[in-house]
Structure 1
Amino acid sequence: LVALQELGPGRADGVTGSTGGRPRQTDSLVTELAAQGASRYKLIRTTSYVKPGTEASTQGMRILYDSSKYTMLSKCVDTTDGSAWSASCTVPLPIRPSGDDEGDRRKATYAKFADKATGEQFYFVSVHLDARHSTDVTVEKTFDALRAAQVKAAIDGVASQNTANLPVILGGDINTWQNNKVGYTAHDVLIDNGFYDTAAAQKHTNLRFTTMNDWRLTLPDPGAGFGSRLDAVLVKGITGASYWENVMEVTDSTRPSDHNMVLADIRLPDGTSGTTTPAPETPAPEAPAPPATSAPAYRPVTPTRVVDTDAGIGAPAVPLAAKGTLDVTVAGKAGLPTTGVDAVVLNLTSTKATSGGYLTAYPTGTARTSASTLNFSTGTAMANNVIVKVGTGGKVTLYGSAATDVLVDVQGWFPIGSDYTSLSPNRLLDTRNGTGAPAALVGATKKIDLTVTGRGGVPASGVGAVVLNLTATSAAGSGYLTAYPAGVTRPSASSLNFVRGRSTANGVVVKVGTGGRVSLYVSAGTHLVGDVQGWFPTGSDLTALTPARLLDTRNGTGTSTAVVPAGGKVDLTVTGRGGVPASGVNAVVLNVTATQSARAGFVTVGATGDARTTATNVAMVPGRSIANRVIVPVGDGGKVTLSSTSQSHLVADVVGYLSN
């Protein structure tokens, strides 16, 4: 299905005047459709074509659909009978109370459809919001408010017809963008009303480019960041999208529009409309039923910073106070939907701490437990990855035992009903007091086998892997910890690096071994603390692996034998190695270590081919080996990219993967 705006009989290259032998928009569309299947394709024509002498962008809203795959259930008219628009399948949008007239009024077009292969029903909406802008901020605010009112009218109009609460797909030109000087209010209205922006899909192409080309034949490559998205596809009642693309060529001899097409691959949820497939309007060949699929448990997003108390992002520009709490809204942020989020994957960083302490992340609205998520000290930034259940109001709460600035980066999420079961953190191990193991320091080169099933909310059977936060404390010397399934040979991988005199924590995903246990080996004597955060069942989308080393720049594993320079990167092949299959992989779970770092800095891990973000995964400390868990989507060529702001050696061990 395609949401069209400003469709008219003018030249396809957007130039006014005589066609000069060039195809017209409508002619070029009809010709192309005929070449691709002719009568299969139908247009919902509820607003007139763009007419000369009128405001072009107030007209030409259409929905194009493939009638061999979808049945239109709404009784939309096929002609406007010479009028500017038809009242059927159309929502008139508001205009400004002063200074506007009916010539400025826009309309949203909608229709109810059914998928012929599954019977699933949904609404599809095409919108084109007001295009006016002003250099005068006061006037610009009136246009921004108008666009917000228009999109609210459109979704309210559809909601009044959508009594069965079916999924809604909305596509269109919203005529505002992320860094507009007065706001992105129309987009905010959609998010606040439960819509999900498909630009946050697991995989995407050309996200760094703007969607508006202004008829330019060559588009400069910005190299990084996020392009202005005036054109969008958003969904409600559908959990995300598997792919998003800004369809374009950097250099092209023609431009069919001054905007690029935006494409999203969306999967309807099961069971939205029963099992009855409505009869088609006209006989058409039945599309073959698609193979049975299930949505992936984990939804990676482009890593996005939602809180920085040092810079005043997402919270006041003051440190988290000692014994204070901070509620962080994650639902509806960073590409997450406003509802349906069970757990969120965050990277937490402590910086500028006034004394040693710890952070605890837990669901808002629940009692804080004794579990710790991140241990920090003065003079250095420390980071840790956490999977935390989302609580009241779509929020998670951070507690700090000592004053510190906090950075929070969202990296992904698990939907309600996914394979992953998130838990409020529960302590399973503390060798200082005998919880889960004898009350004694774990000796150098020794291991303990920790029972994880049947405890802390983890069931006694059917568990494939557990998510733990492990802490080494009161260490007798510097060393490392390896977490692996009980009953198998210990791998050479490390899960946590620690030093004497400091408590160090790291999150791990570890496969459950013999007797529902996991083994914890330490190279130097230390006390160990372990908190469970959640679990995956056997046969889930997550396949936990015995840790395997994929990268070590010290000896040339996975890349050349060379230190990674400041500002450098490593493109690491992860598919087809270490137990990860060559295809069908959505994301990998890695333990990434920075060692022999020249100075303080950060390591960022992302899908190869994606623009690098400012989010951090590992906070480097000179003279120390620092590790952190990363759940990262797989990018171009089955690779992930590790970027470093400081000279350092990098090590990466794979501990699992999530299937598509």
Structure 2
Amino acid sequence: MNVSGKGNSATGALIVYPSGASQPTSVALRYRTATFLHNMVFAKVGADGKIKVTNTGSAPVKINLDVLGYTPGGIGNSSGSTYVPLSSTQILTNQFLGALANHELTVLGQGGVPSSDVEAVAVNVRATSTSTGALRVYAAGETLPLDATIDYSSAAGQNLAVVKLGTNGKINLHNQGLFSAKIWVDVVGYFTKSGPDPPTVGSSRRTWRRTSASPRGRRTPSPCPGRPVLPPRASNRSLSASTRSAPSLERSVSTRRAPPTPACRHSASTPTPPPPAPPWPS
């Protein structure tokens, strides 16, 4: 699951843990106010099928939770893909990516990844620019996802991502920014293909907002779709994993898809660029 957050007026941290369990001291994400920060986590689900997210900051925070996949439960369960870790190898170095441009990166056969029978890869992605923007990493040939892999600025943004392989074993890197950016990609592992395709199901996000006019514990719909706001100081919210449907890692690791939008400018090397996602409200 990709966790991202941006503080309304103060910095803080988010803790993610199973519903019904004691709150741990480990932090899933430390957020700032300037831009959204991202971190990919593996989150255990509670007995009720839910996870909890706690904001330890002194002010509200806007968050996104994007499901990337899941692992089958049960001791000794042999179904699903196998994750193969690799020594980190850089497969894209200082790649220039223009405003609203797209770059297709071949992953099969690179950095220790086999040339076949690979379903998805785990990559560290880093981006920097002279301005703010977002980078979306997803399977080549698929629709541009709504969620960003990282939000970047003049200070480099970085995140681990699990990305399904698309057409010809490639992944897309799309610069959702009005200025150029420089991109680095390191591959750290891959998922093997296994078994028949699971049913494809869509992902969803819950949205809520707590305001000063609302009674304690009551939440009204957020004016920013897809970006819930957690209240400050040790407040938490139970999130049902069952409502955040995502394809299983038994066969694929899928990303969220955005509704069709007009085409954008792109690099000459890309014959069919994806459309830009609608900008998030600040």
Matches of 2:86 and 2:155, distance apart in 1: 27
Aligned pairs for 1:472-511 within 5 A:
none
Pairwise CA distance, 1:349: 1.1
2:13 is aligned to: 358
Matches of 1:391 and 1:566, distance apart in 2: 42
Instruction: Note if contact 1:384-1:629 (Cα within 8 Å) is conserved in structure 2.
Output: yes
Aligned pairs for 1:419-458 within 5 A:
none
Instruction: Note if contact 1:588-1:631 (Cα within 8 Å) is conserved in structure 2.
Output: yes
1:652 is aligned to: 185
Aligned pairs for 1:250-289 within 5 A:
none
Residue 548 of structure 1 is aligned with which of 39, 64, 89? 89
1:401 aligns with 2:74: no
- Listed as ranges, the gaps of 5+ residues in structure 2 are 194-282
Pairwise CA distance, 1:623: 1.7
**Which structure has more helix as a fraction of its residues?**
1
- Listed as ranges, the gaps of 5+ residues in structure 1 are 1-345, 421-539, 555-560
Matches of 2:70 and 2:138, distance apart in 1: 15
Residue deviations 1:528-564 (CA, integer Å, cap 9, x gap): xxxxxxxxxxxx8111111000112x2xxxxxx5x21
Matches of 2:9 and 2:98, distance apart in 1: 31
Instruction: Note if contact 2:7-2:31 (Cα within 8 Å) is conserved in structure 1.
Output: no
Residue 410 of structure 1 is aligned with which of 67, 71, 75? 67
Matches of 1:547 and 1:581, distance apart in 2: 15
Residue deviations 1:514-541 (CA, integer Å, cap 9, x gap): xxxxxxxxxxxxxxxxxxxxxxxxxx81
Pairwise CA distance, 1:379: 2.0
Matches of 2:99 and 2:75, distance apart in 1: 39
Instruction: Note if contact 2:113-2:190 (Cα within 8 Å) is conserved in structure 1.
Output: yes
Matches of 1:391 and 1:618, distance apart in 2: 28
Higher relative contact order by CA 8 Å / sep ≥ 6: 1 or 2? 2
1:371 aligns with 2:26: yes
1:576 is aligned to: 109
Q: Secondary structure at the match of 1:612?
A: coil
Q: Secondary structure at the match of 2:68?
A: strand
1:386 is aligned to: 41
| TM-score (structure 1 length as normaliser) | 0.27
Q: Secondary structure at the match of 1:637?
A: helix
**1:418 to 1:590, Cα distance in 2 relative to 1, 3 A:** farther
Instruction: Note if contact 1:347-1:616 (Cα within 8 Å) is conserved in structure 2.
Output: no
Pairwise CA distance, 1:566: 2.1
Q: Secondary structure at the match of 1:586?
A: strand
Matches of 2:82 and 2:106, distance apart in 1: 21
Aligned pairs for 1:582-621 within 5 A:
582-595=115-128, 597-620=129-152
Shift >3 Å, 4+ stretches: 417-420
**1:419 to 1:637, Cα distance in 2 relative to 1, 3 A:** farther
1:643 aligns with 2:174: yes
Instruction: Note if contact 1:592-1:630 (Cα within 8 Å) is conserved in structure 2.
Output: yes
Instruction: Note if contact 1:589-1:656 (Cα within 8 Å) is conserved in structure 2.
Output: yes
1:564 aligns with 2:97: yes
Pairwise CA distance, 1:418: 7.8
Aligned pairs for 1:213-232 within 5 A:
none
| TM-score (structure 2 length as normaliser) | 0.63
Aligned partner letter, 1:636: T
Matches of 1:601 and 1:353, distance apart in 2: 18
Instruction: Note if contact 1:588-1:656 (Cα within 8 Å) is conserved in structure 2.
Output: yes
1:630 is aligned to: 161
Aligned partner letter, 1:602: A
Matches of 1:394 and 1:541, distance apart in 2: 24
Matches of 2:27 and 2:14, distance apart in 1: 6
Instruction: Note if contact 2:10-2:32 (Cα within 8 Å) is conserved in structure 1.
Output: yes
Matches of 1:419 and 1:574, distance apart in 2: 31
Equivalent residue pairs, number: 186
**1:352 to 1:601, Cα distance in 2 relative to 1, 3 A:** farther
Instruction: Note if contact 1:587-1:657 (Cα within 8 Å) is conserved in structure 2.
Output: yes
Instruction: Note if contact 2:100-2:175 (Cα within 8 Å) is conserved in structure 1.
Output: yes
**1:577 to 1:613, Cα distance in 2 relative to 1, 3 A:** same
Aligned partner letter, 1:572: L
Aligned pairs for 1:16-415 within 5 A:
346-402=1-57, 403-415=60-72
Residue deviations 1:252-277 (CA, integer Å, cap 9, x gap): xxxxxxxxxxxxxxxxxxxxxxxxxx
Q: Secondary structure at the match of 2:111?
A: coil
**1:637 to 1:392, Cα distance in 2 relative to 1, 3 A:** same
Aligned partner letter, 1:550: I
Q: Secondary structure at the match of 2:67?
A: strand
**1:387 to 1:649, Cα distance in 2 relative to 1, 3 A:** same
Aligned partner letter, 1:641: N
Matches of 1:547 and 1:379, distance apart in 2: 30
What is the alpha-carbon root mean square deviation over aligned residues? 1.7
Residue deviations 1:385-444 (CA, integer Å, cap 9, x gap): 111011132211111111211111111111114889xxxxxxxxxxxxxxxxxxxxxxxx
Q: Secondary structure at the match of 1:366?
A: coil
2:236 is aligned to: none
Pairwise CA distance, 1:377: 1.6
Instruction: Note if contact 2:135-2:150 (Cα within 8 Å) is conserved in structure 1.
Output: yes
Instruction: Note if contact 1:593-1:627 (Cα within 8 Å) is conserved in structure 2.
Output: yes
**1:391 to 1:580, Cα distance in 2 relative to 1, 3 A:** same
